[in-house]
Structure 1
Amino acid sequence: MEMTKENTQANHQPWYRTMPDPMVLIFGILVATFLLTYLVPAGTFERIIIDGRTTVVPGSFHVIENAPSLHVFDIFVAIPQGLISAAPYLFIVFIAGGLFHILQRSGALENAIGVAVNKVGVKNRNLIITVGTFIYGFFGVAVGFENNIALVPVAVLIASAVGYSRLVGTAMAVGGIGIGFALSPINPYTIGVAQGIAELPIFSGAGLRTILVLSSLALLSYYICTRVAKMDEESADTGLSKDLSEYSMTGRNKLTLAAFLIGLGVMLYGVFANGWYINEIAGLFLLMAISIGAINGLGANGIVKQMMEGASGVTSGALVIGVAASIQVILNDAQIIDTIVHSLSSLIQDMPIAISAIVASVVQGVINLFIPGGSGQAMVTMPILVPVADLTGMSRQLMITAFQVGDGLTNLIVPTSGGTLAMLALGGVSYERWLKAILPFMLFVYALCWVALFIGQLIGY
């Protein structure tokens, strides 16, 4: 009878609680991708190098004759290959996990957030979440996407301090960074590259994109406070070890926090001045962990122990990144990415001008599943879609905005986005839990962007 009762309770669980493990979900996508290789012929574009960058030659697509076919065993070989290709993401997750474990064990971050929340007041927690979302959005606009991985645990602790779950903090950080990066008027990875290919002034047309990113961040803030906050009410707690009124900052806390903020400042300088990316940032995080450990009196063995403890806490999330990267391995081995890009791009040519920009954003979103890198996707698709825009009467500026919307927003949900999976791992939120929380918002933000694209077409943007 007890077993029957448990089974009955399980059958009445919400659908999202019975979803398979993220590994199972991604493996299913991997198998589906493998089957796709038998339906889509191998093909390629000719490519040339212009100003040191590889660019696709429009109209050069051709099917590859006698392309090698993949076998079932290649599915399993692709997984270790994916882990190897995603190594930079795995390592930054492990190192950042260790860094924040040391930082949290020092008490400096908790004390700082406790003092700040006590001054603002928990009753203003929705204001805190809204301001936080816009701050993270600013980092996405100005700094980039993967470069902000280290800031996710801070948002989780802020959300916990005001009585919300880690899902709220993760949505504030990942959503804010993702929206800011996706719709940034000054994104060098997407807008910069695409406008260079389209021969437009760098970062021109920023007005519409600025309105779009601010509107989308406002929409995200409202969505988090009204919907995401209610999804995990049963798991929400203060996340703090004592009452807010008892928090204060010691001298060592201030020194620890100063070291952390200086480290972030060095990271920003490295990103903007020296072109730092994942490996350099991971190395800096390691240096920050050692410095903060030393400030708090940890010896070499103590630092290593806490780094290992922190890394072990994000292992499952890090491994998901590697398994997801195997999807790209299958696509590359089968040589079907260019075929998919060619087929999807051809859909736009016969569309009415009024909806062609919207359809272009959808096409770019689908392509993003296969080419998750923003600059890489611009290099592949824009040489094809810029002439399409000219032929259909769409402005090049609007086509680039459609590319930006399609490429950027889907980064929040596609399993091939290593940066998103890395942030989820540090936020302690599983991939399927994230999808359940963010997918309804994606419908709203896409609708907002499509309205903007439609208006942009009407006003000749």
Structure 2
Amino acid sequence: MPFPSAFTVLVAVTVAVWALTFAISAGRYDTTPDGAPIPGTYHAVERTTDFLDRLKDLFLSPVNGLYGVTDAGTGLTTPGAAGSFAGAAGVFLFILAVGAFITVTLRTGALDLGVARLAHRLHGHRTLLLVALVAVFSLGGTTYGMAEETLGFYGLMIPLMLALGYDRMVAASVIMVGAGVGTLASTVNPFATGVASDSAGIGTGDGILLRLAMWVSLTAIAAWYVLRYAKRVLADPARSLTPSTDEDRALAEQDEEVAALTGRHRAVLGVFATTFLFMIFAVVPWADLGVTFLPTLGWYFPELAALFIVAAVAVGLIGGLGEHGTAEAITRGAGDFVGAGLIVVLARGVTVIMNNAAVTDTILNGLHSAVSGTSHGAFAVLMFLVNVPLAFLVPSSSGHAALAMPILAPLADFAGVRRSLVVTAYQSASGWVNLITPTSAVVMGGLALAKIRYDQYLRFVAPLMGILLLAIGGFMVLGATLG
């Protein structure tokens, strides 16, 4: 029996949490002017909602998760209230905009061809080629959470790696491990860092220096690990985890010339790279980092959604898709990412149910009691470990973030560390688990395309998982120590 989808898991979580609110006592913390809970001020409160009101909360939870508004007087979130916006409509639109942008770029063929040209140029330099490819896929992971998009590259990588004397595992690991480690160490990935930061009440650029250091270090570890295995297979093919077949030998003998990049392709790749670079510039709080010669734009999801929509139109027209082709690709791309957006909405709906029942602070108080007295470093590592089982249950990084961050992020206030460290711990756990989770279409689909058994992949990746676990723990302690 297959593991339930993220949608089924979140619906089950919604119903379970709603039922548990009847058994959990209501309580509140006093808060600072910016909404942060004040340690030591937790107190019991009387619920103002009856059974029918709470049944209505369950019924409306997806709607509240999208555009619910929290009434300033009662503290209750409903679709028609007047007060502060609590829904995830901004995040939802942003996800659709990024989906449209990525799909339009892929439709032009520039991204696929760009990677193919890189592989062709470095064909005679095996070591440099492997390092460059791992870095490219890792860059995709850290900037926009490259996931399902990787499935289109297996047809290119497998013949190339076989022709160089490697095996199918090298081809699969360049893509899967490269993009996976990049996502694990996301710097501005909108589906992980962006959603988690929004749910934690901080900016996407908060904590970017630690995440950048993680990305560089963990990408280097991934490239070293893949290269180490590749050299072993090249020296002794008998040590391959995926022994060569007649099909492999036939593919290895293929020598296909890769088409040259046209001016359109180069322009599309330029716009693609510039868009993500500008996004990074727009979200980083330069003033907080002591950088005074750069303006702090303070962009958030509304501005970023507009950026990606405009960039999608520009890429489509520059790439030669025309008016009709560009509009169709934007529509198709947004449609392909509706699922990710709805998962965020469902997860946000769970948060609304807890808040309306006044149990969020009660749960937070219980967690605070459990972690109180731990050092900053131990707290950071504990946040990572807590998110590991959650990542398995909710393989969607966006859904995981929207579900966990409203509860876990305030714990950072009590522990005296930055909320951005909890975000980094969450995304590290999510990315680490998603390197091997059998519920992931990226993992299982990639292995199917590469014709590699899951047990073979586990044998390959198990030592790397241990190395990454130790490295992540080290970065958690470092981040907590530096503050």
TM over 0.5: yes
Comparing 332-341 with 342-351, greater Cα deviation is found at 342-351
| 1:81 partnered with 2:81 | no
Change (3 A) 1:410 1:38: farther
Match of 2:3, SS?
coil
Match of 1:248 among 260, 283, 287: 260
| Alignment match of 1:48 (pick from 32, 51, 69) | 32
Q: 2:358 is matched with which residue?
A: 335
Task: Verify: 1:66 aligned to 2:68, yes or no.
Answer: no
Give the TM-score normalised by the residue count of structure 2.
0.61
Which of 131, 156, 160 is residue 127 of structure 1 equivalent to?
A: 131
User: Residues 284-309 of structure 1, C-alpha deviation per residue, up to 9 Å, x if partnerless?
Assistant: 11111222222244443332222222
Shift of 1:25: 1.7
TM, length-normalised to structure 1: 0.63
Deviation of residue 283 (structure 1)?
1.0
> Are the counterparts in 2 of residues 103 and 109 from structure 1 also a CA contact under 8 Å?
yes
Alignment of 1:50-199 (within 5 A): 53-68=34-49, 71-84=54-67, 85-121=87-123, 127-132=131-136, 135=139, 140=142, 148-149=143-144, 157=152, 161-163=156-158, 169=175, 172-173=178-179, 175-181=181-187
| Residue identity matched to 2:135 | V
SS in 2 for 1:303: helix
Show the 5 A alignment for 1:373-412.
378=409, 380-386=410-416, 403=422, 406-410=425-429, 412=431
Aligned-pair identity in percent equals 19
**Bigger fraction of residues in helix:** 1
1:393-440 residue CA offsets vs partner (Å, 9 max, x unmatched): xxx7xx98985664443454899xxxxxxxxxxx97499999x99998
Amino acid at match of 1:48: T
Deviations 1:41-91 (A, max 9, x none): 121111122xxx333222111111235356445323102222332223332
1:391 alignment counterpart: none
State the one-letter code of the partner of 2:411: T
Selected match of 1:33 from 6, 9, 17: 17
Q: Distance in 1 between matches of 2:270 and 2:116?
A: 17
CA contact (8 A) 1:216 1:445 kept: yes
- Aligned mate of 1:302, from 322, 325, 332: 325
Name the counterpart of 1:314.
337
Q: Do structure 1's residue 270 and structure 2's residue 251 form an aligned pair?
A: no
Residue identity in the other structure for 1:251: G
SS in 2 for 1:162: helix
CA contact (8 A) 1:45 1:56 kept: yes
Measured in 2, the distance between the counterparts of 1:102 and 1:454 equals 40
Aligned CA distance change for structure 1 residues 280 and 252 (closer, same or farther; 3 Å): same
For residue 248 of structure 1, report the CA deviation from its aligned partner.
0.9
Deviation (angstroms), 1:383: 3.7
- RMSD value over aligned CA atoms? 5.3
Q: Is the 8 A contact 1:99 1:307 kept in 2?
A: yes
Q: 1:86·1:321 contact (CA, 8 Å) conserved in 2?
A: yes
Bigger CA drift: 125-134 or 217-226? 217-226
Q: Partner amino acid for 2:113?
A: N
Residue number among 275, 299, 316 corresponding to 1:293 in the alignment: 316
Letter of the 1:258 counterpart: G
Gap change, CA 1:57 and 1:222, over 3 Å in 2: same
Q: Distance in 2 between matches of 1:350 and 1:377?
A: 17
Query: What displacement does 1:333 show?
Result: 1.7
Specify whether residues 216 and 93 from structure 1 end up closer, same or farther in structure 2 by C-alpha distance, changes over 3 A only.
Answer: same
Secondary structure in structure 1 of the residue aligned to 2:35: strand
State the AA in 1 paired with 2:58.
Answer: I
Unaligned runs of 5+ in 2: 68-86, 159-167, 230-240, 243-253, 285-295, 392-399, 435-439, 448-453
- Contact 1:167–1:429 under 8 Å retained in 2: no
3-state SS, counterpart of residue 56 of structure 1: coil
Alignment correspondent of 2:237: none
* Secondary structure, aligned partner of 2:257: helix
Residue range with higher mean Cα deviation, 171-180 or 30-39: 171-180
SS at match of 1:325: helix
Alpha carbons 1:43, 1:64 under 8 Å: kept: yes
> CA offset at residue 450 of structure 1?
4.6
Contact 1:19 1:432 in 2 (8 A): no
**3-state SS of the aligned residue for 1:58?**
coil
SS at match of 1:47: coil
- 1: distance between equivalents of 2:353 and 2:40? 25
**Structure 1: 5+ residue runs without aligned partners?**
1-14, 141-147, 197-201, 232-241, 387-395, 416-426
CA separation in 2, counterparts of 1:107 and 1:153?
16
1:259 maps onto 2:271 in alignment: yes
Counterpart contact for 2:21–2:359, Cα < 8 Å:
yes
Hey, what does 1:419 align to over in structure 2? none
Partner residue of 2:8?
Answer: 24
Distance 1:358 1:43 in 2: 28
